[in-house]
């Protein structure tokens, strides 16, 4: 089936694939060249802090741009500024300049995700929302899988500069695709809506007052804090099995590869089963991560990571749909940005503890903790198995506009 709205979602998905693939390739090259020129893991850690940590801190402000200004223009400007920053990375030579330009690139690209996610309910029909989010998530996951491999190959063949130039080109291509999308990126808003949701903190305020989204955000925070240690443990785990740098790359790639299939499955989730998939997927992720802690060989570990990635990819699609449906258009970008900020800052907060945990108990302990955290998240989400379908039915019966969060009221129970 092909309709104008589905065509718009496909173009956004392709833009995400191109942009995320180029960015993943560039950051692979960046970490490689920073370590090559400094020989210091502290420089690598600092680079991660100034990119991942900065993104978590700046995302609420970046999300406010998607609610205040025309979303199409925000996405295009974000892409073009990102292109300029990565072109600057190609011209940088010293580690200080490389990290500084990476910091600026992080600032430039941070508005794209919350803004594009907030626009999706406006670009597609209500019944196509899961399909659209699954399609966009498929593009993102495919970009994450392809990016590091492309980055590694290009670094080996032509150096990091070639990767940075390619990423700059990918951002320009993404901007061009966004410019061709037909449809409205936002709905008409009343003065009362604008006044109700004023300020950068409005996304956090809405999350806290909306019972379902509050519960989901708290579960996401528990998940992030629990699995953050896994990012620290990946390299030690691959070294423990003698898999080296190749095994290190395969761990992340296996998870992202599984997420591709999770995104495809998420396209077919019906509103009446969203709560069940949300909770069930969390438990499957828990089993996959926890199994890594007891696997005797490396290949089964990669299979477990793939399974975890598939279930996590499915959960991500369901989370996006529920957040989009329950957030008024006037504040939707800031709500999604608030969720992303909570998740990224949770990951960053887990890094110091992860280093201690891996050093004291070994890398397998981090995966056991990640599995336990996913179980805790699933238990926190369990009450939504009944509540989410009920709320969906009420929303569809009362309001099918791109602003479906309003009928509940900010203090209403689901």
Contact 173, 35 (CB under 8 A): no
Residue 280 to residue 277: CA distance in whole angstroms: 5
Burial string for 307-319 (b: 16+ CB within 10 Å, else e) reads bbbbbbbbbbbbb
Rg (CA), the chain: 20
Residue 404 is classified by DSSP as T
Residue 223 to residue 245: CA distance in whole angstroms: 27
pLDDT at residue 148, rounded to an integer: 73
The answer to whether the predicted template modeling score (pTM) of the entire model surpasses 0.75 is yes
pLDDT at residue 119, rounded to an integer: 87
Residue 124 is classified by DSSP as S
Residue 370 to residue 255: CA distance in whole angstroms: 14
Contact 207, 335 (CB under 8 A): yes
* Residue 220: closest CA among 133, 281, 142: 281
- Domains of the chain and CATH, by start: 1-184 (1.20.1250.20), 199-405 (1.20.1250.20)
Q: Which two tokens stand for residue 86?
A: 């990565």
Q: Which two tokens stand for residue 211?
A: 């019972």
Q: Which two tokens stand for residue 145?
A: 């899988």
Along the 414 residues of the chain, how does pLDDT read in single tens digits? 445 567 888 888 888 888 888 888 887 778 777 777 777 666 766 777 777 777 777 888 888 888 888 888 999 999 999 999 989 888 888 888 888 888 898 888 888 888 888 888 888 888 888 888 898 888 888 887 887 777 777 777 777 788 888 888 988 999 998 988 887 777 666 555 555 666 778 888 888 889 999 999 999 999 998 888 887 787 788 878 887 666 777 787 888 889 999 998 988 888 888 888 999 999 999 999 999 999 989 999 999 999 999 999 999 999 999 999 888 888 888 898 889 888 888 887 887 787 788 888 888 998 999 999 999 999 999 988 876 555 555 444 433 344 433 332 323 333
How many CB atoms neighbour CB 49 within 10 A?
A: 14
Kindly provide the residue ranges of all beta strands, DSSP E only, lying in 177-240, ordered along the sequence. Answer: none
pLDDT at residue 214, rounded to an integer: 92
> Where do we find the tokens 């993404």?
174
Residue 306 to residue 303: CA distance in whole angstroms: 5
Contact 368, 73 (CB under 8 A): no
């Amino acid at each position: 089936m092909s309709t104008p709205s589905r065509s718009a979602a496909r173009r956004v998905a392709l833009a995400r694939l191109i942009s995320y693939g180029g960015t993943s390739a560039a950051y692979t090259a960046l970490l490689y060249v920073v370590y090559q020129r400094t020989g210091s893991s502290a420089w690598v850690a600092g680079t991660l802090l100034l990119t991942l940590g900065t993104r978590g801190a700046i995302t609420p402000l970046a999300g406010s741009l998607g609610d205040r200004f025309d979303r199409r223009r925000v996405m295009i400007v974000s892409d073009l500024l990102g292109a300029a920053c990565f072109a600057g990375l190609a011209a940088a030579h010293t580690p200080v300049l490389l990290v500084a330009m990476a910091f600026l690139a992080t600032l430039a690209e941070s508005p794209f995700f919350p803004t594009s996610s907030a626009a999706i309910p406006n670009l597609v029909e209500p019944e196509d929302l899961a399909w659209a989010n699954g399609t966009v998530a498929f593009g993102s996951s495919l970009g994450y899988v392809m990016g590091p491999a492309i980055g590694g190959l290009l670094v080996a063949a032509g150096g990091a500069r070639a990767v940075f130039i390619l990423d700059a080109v990918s951002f320009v291509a993404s901007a061009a695709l966004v410019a061709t999308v037909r449809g409205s990126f936002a709905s008409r808003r009343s003065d009362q809506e604008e006044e109700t949701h004023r300020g950068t903190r409005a996304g956090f305020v809405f999350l806290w007052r909306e019972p379902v989204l509050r519960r989901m955000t708290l579960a996401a925070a528990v998940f992030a804090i629990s699995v953050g240690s896994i990012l620290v443990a990946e390299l030690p785990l691959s070294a423990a099995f003698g898999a080296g740098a190749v095994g290190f790359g395969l761990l992340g790639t296996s998870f992202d590869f599984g997420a591709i299939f999770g995104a495809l499955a998420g396209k077919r989730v019906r509103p009446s089963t969203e709560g069940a998939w949300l909770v069930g997927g969390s438990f499957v992720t828990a089993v996959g991560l926890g199994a890594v802690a007891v696997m005797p060989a490396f290949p089964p570990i990669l299979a477990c990571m793939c399974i975890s990635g598939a279930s996590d990819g499915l959960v991500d699609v369901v989370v996006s749909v529920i957040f989009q449906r329950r957030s008024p258009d006037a504040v939707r970008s800031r709500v999604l940005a608030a969720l992303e900020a909570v998740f990224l800052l949770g990951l960053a907060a887990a890094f110091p503890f992860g280093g201690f945990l891996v050093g004291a108990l070994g890398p397998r302990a981090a995966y056991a903790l990640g599995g336990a955290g996913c179980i805790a998240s699933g238990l926190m989400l369990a009450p939504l198995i009944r509540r989410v379908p009920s709320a969906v039915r009420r929303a569809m019966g009362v309001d099918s506009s791109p602003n479906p969060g309003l009928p509940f009221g900010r203090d209403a129970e689901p």
